A = this chain, B = another copy of it.
Amino acid sequence: MQSINAAIVGGTGYTGAELLRLLSQHPQVNIMSISSRSEAGNPVADLFGSLRGQIDLSFTDPSELDPSNVDVVFYATPNGIAMQQVPELLEKGVKVIDLAADFRLQDINVWEKWYGQQHACPEVVATAAYGLPELNRETIKSAQLIANPGCYATAIQLALYPLLKANLLAPEDIIADGKSGVSGAGRGAAVGSLYSEVAESFKAYKVEGHRHQPEICESLENATGIRPQLIFTPHLLPMIRGIECTIYAKPKADIQTLQQALENAYQDEPFITVLPLGSVPDTASVRGSNNVHISLAQQGQISNMPNRVILMAVEDNLVKGAAGQAVQNMNLAFGFEETMGLNQLGLMP
């Protein structure tokens, strides 16, 4: 199988660094360039010490990207950048995987409302595949443009999808309580991300609505035919990596049936593990890996309880929630084995 040439646009953030880590160990990928306006000319190892002695690349200016020289471009930029540049790349036959949100929502009105800007290429959005392989694998395989899903959106959908699809959960009044490590906020210098502010503390944020809510609802509707009615509240964890979502939904069958449906749905998925009943997933078990652990529980033994099933899902927000899923999508789009370059086990402890 032939190797491919990849470029990363926006390489100074944590998802860019994680793409470097994963792609540099991918047997079929040559990293042609990683760009950053602010760091152009500087060795990547000066910014990311873990790459010192391992990767001999310097940041380039984004303008130097030569489409004729690359097979795939990863956008690890803030929202609103990729949509300015992607149409031209697509015309030249390059595949694009956007790790930001520019192509995640098919409904442009909803996108513009939640992202607070006009979309630069609504007609291109319609051609984008939503890059959640476990829901959308075949579309991804033939896509030229892939919208890598949001981090929370990945965990919540993977937990809900098989049960909604099998009509084992009521779509109404689903409550998702999400928690993320602070690397999800990126590498920007913000007071709210300082160690002294984040460590030894915990709080909710964006309690009036988070952008992943409409993304989850639209994608699950596309995948199951039913639009779920969902509340999603994110929280900030005093840790670097990891997302956990605890989801409360009304079951339409007993818990053993739900467990069986989950296990069946994911039995052939290389990155999804359904834990046995009685186990709970912890984020440390998936640290640094592309794996997702999911489990189910119920508090039904107590009389006079709400009739709810509890779904829990964990992932590494920088891997399955970002760069790892992007590589998984690239593997699908280029016909590589889906797990190629993604076999690392979680770093524990």
Q: Which residues of A contact B (CB under 8 A)?
A: 14, 17, 21, 24-25, 48-54, 172-175, 177, 179, 181-183, 187-191, 193-205, 207-209, 213-214, 217, 227, 229-231, 233, 235, 237-242, 244, 246, 248, 273, 275, 278, 280-289, 291, 293, 297-299, 301-302, 304-306, 308, 310, 312, 314, 343-349
Contacts and interface: CB of A to CB of B under 8 A. Distances in A.
A165 B51 CA distance: 29
A345 B24 contact: yes
22 contacts: A21-B348, A25-B345, A49-B346, A52-B275, A175-B308, A193-B194, A193-B196, A194-B194, A195-B197, A197-B349, A199-B239, A201-B282, A202-B244, A205-B280, A208-B278, A208-B301, A217-B304, A231-B248, A231-B310, A233-B299, A241-B349, A288-B288
A21 B288 CA distance: 12
Nearest to A316: B347
Contacts of A298: 208
Contacts of A248: 175, 177, 231, 248
Main secondary structure of the interface of A (DSSP, over half): loop
A210 to B, nearest CB: 9
Contact of A195 (B194, B280, B287): B194
A273 B314 CA distance: 33
Given A200-B241, A241-B349, 17 more contacts: A50-B346, A179-B179, A179-B235, A187-B196, A189-B190, A195-B195, A195-B240, A196-B349, A200-B240, A200-B242, A200-B287, A201-B239, A204-B312, A208-B278, A230-B306, A233-B299, A248-B248
